Amino acid sequence: MDIGSTTIALYLCDLRTGEILAAESEMNPQIVYGEDIMSRIQYTIEHKDGLEKLHQAVIDVLNKLLKLAARKAKIKIENILEMVLVGNSTMHHLVLNLPPKDLGRAPFVPAIHHSLDIKARELGLHINASGNIHVLPTIASFIGADTSGVILAEEPYKQDENWLIIDVGTNAELVLGNRSRLVCTSTPTGPALEGAHVEYGMRAAPGAMERVHIDEKTLEPKYKVIGVEGWNTDHADFKGHVKGICGSAIIDAVAEIFRVGIIDSRGRFKRGLESPRIREGANGLEYVIAWSDETSIGRDIPITQQDVRQIQLAKAALFTAARTLLKRTGLQSPDKIILAGGFGSYIDKEMAMLIGLIPDCPLENVYAVGNAAGDGARIALLNIEKRREIETVTRRVERFELPTDPEFQNQFMMATSLPHMSEPFPHIAHLIPNREADPLAKNFMKK
């Protein structure tokens, strides 16, 4: 089980062969108590029954997914004998019914660091009552068992190159280093990268735009929709297909309106451009990607000024975390960037670098590896020796808390620019040949 803040994923495996017999996922029902981990921690503090509600919500959905997986694999649920759980530190505490309040205040200390083995009956999970549940170790305050799973799956501790691993999500975790040294940190990015807090944002589901491209001469867009083959322009009569825009297309859209000059490097819409798609909306200028007759909701779907701001805040948090780790290890850039997490698999790496979501790096050295936390959980499920290995590795990972960095605020402000207020980004420079230096950069660099 990979228990994410937004999505919970399950993989049912045959312990003899390692074969995946079924895979299930569902939105984390805790989202009704708070969209991000800090608001969920606060809910447990402010409500007497808050912890029990959040704990039971996740246990109920785990049991639902177990039932669905068992049915799909045509087995009895009581024949499930072993489980491995991973999740960020807050999810880790909530599924184990541990008060997470100390994660929400300095010095941000988890209740438990080491791995655990507990009986299924103790958590109320409906597998074999004597079944063993193994929980991978947490690393730091907001760097949890899911990051342990990612490290186990990708094995940066066995490499000579310096790898930067980014698990992209509502709370992003980053690990940098090699066999000699590993450092890690985390940062809240908010739900904008996954479609929330964006006016027409939605999850990656049928009807969601997943790719956007804009012609630099005509400023006309084309886009791909989940469940529809090809681009919208490939169809003579493209009507009523679009419901909204998911995270990968939101990144594309912001990158594209920056690349073609609709917004400037500070994310502000430019006035005076001649295109019917650029118009004054309720909250300022916006760019219409899909007209109402192309949608199933009967409304135009634009990218608004507020949408751009949400992406700027999210990407600045992620970039600043990466830059802080690089500086701490004396590196200018990593040898390789690995994008983990389901969302990371759908990000266009060139578009991500164009907005400054990730540091500059040769694009051929940027890889998406899917749900590496889930892969690590499956490795630990099938190989007990790997459980001991990751327990040892996590104990030597150096933890860095971003709030303790005196330069964080200045670095964050510089990173809100596209792609950045001062960094050169040579590997995507060809996409923005007329990029000009920002006069404010010197002021922030002096502080």
Residue that the structure tokens 């995270």 belong to: 247
DSSP E strands in 159-261: the ranges are 163-167, 171-177, 182-188, 208-214, 221-225, 244-245
d(CA 289, CA 268): 17
pLDDT per residue as tens digits for the range 329-346: 999 999 999 999 877 778
pLDDT per residue as tens digits for the range 415-425: 999 999 999 99
pLDDT of residue 294 exceeding 70, the answer is yes
Q: What are phi and psi of 438, to 5 degrees?
A: -90, 120
Candidate CATH numbers 3.90.1170.50, 1.10.8.590, 3.30.420.480, 3.40.640.10; the one for domain 2-135: 3.30.420.480
Q: Which of 177, 126, 148, 82 is nearest to 384 (CA)?
A: 82
Determine the pLDDT at residue 181. Answer: 96
Q: What is the arithmetic mean of pLDDT over 387-415?
A: 89
Could you count the other beta carbons within 10 Å of the beta carbon of residue 334? 26
Determine the pLDDT at residue 445. Answer: 64
Q: Output the pTM of the full model.
A: 0.90
Determine the pLDDT at residue 188. Answer: 81
Task: Compute the half-sphere exposure of residue 371: CA atoms within 13 Å on the CB side of its CA.
Answer: 19
Q: What is the arithmetic mean of pLDDT over 57-74?
A: 97
Residue 160 CA: distances (Å) to CA of 178, 384, 393: 6, 26, 16
d(CA 106, CA 108): 5
Reported residue count of the chain is: 447
Q: Which of 334, 8, 344 is nearest to 183 (CA)?
A: 334
Domain boundaries, the chain: 2-135, 193-309
Strand partners, 186: 173
d(CA 419, CA 422): 9
DSSP 232: G
**Dihedral Cα 348, 10, 102, 192, nearest 10 deg:** 30
Q: Which of 242, 266, 243 is nearest to 254 (CA)?
A: 266
Please give the order of strands across the beta sheet that includes 7-13: 20-27, 7-13, 2-3, 82-87, 132-135, 116-119
Positive/negative CA dihedral, 40, 41, 42, 46: positive
pLDDT of residue 447 exceeding 80, the answer is no
Determine the pLDDT at residue 196. Answer: 67
Residue 32 CA: distances (Å) to CA of 41, 190, 389: 13, 15, 37
Q: What is the arithmetic mean of pLDDT over 388-413?
A: 88
Q: What are phi and psi of 276, to 5 degrees?
A: -65, -15
Strand partners, 268: none
Looking at 39-43, 198-202, 244-248, 341-345, which range is the least confident one? 341-345
Q: Which of 105, 122, 104, 103 is nearest to 113 (CA)?
A: 103
3-state secondary structure of 194: helix
Please give the order of strands across the beta sheet that includes 208-214: 221-225, 208-214, 244-245
Choose from 180-194, 285-299, 392-406 the range with maximum mean pLDDT: 285-299
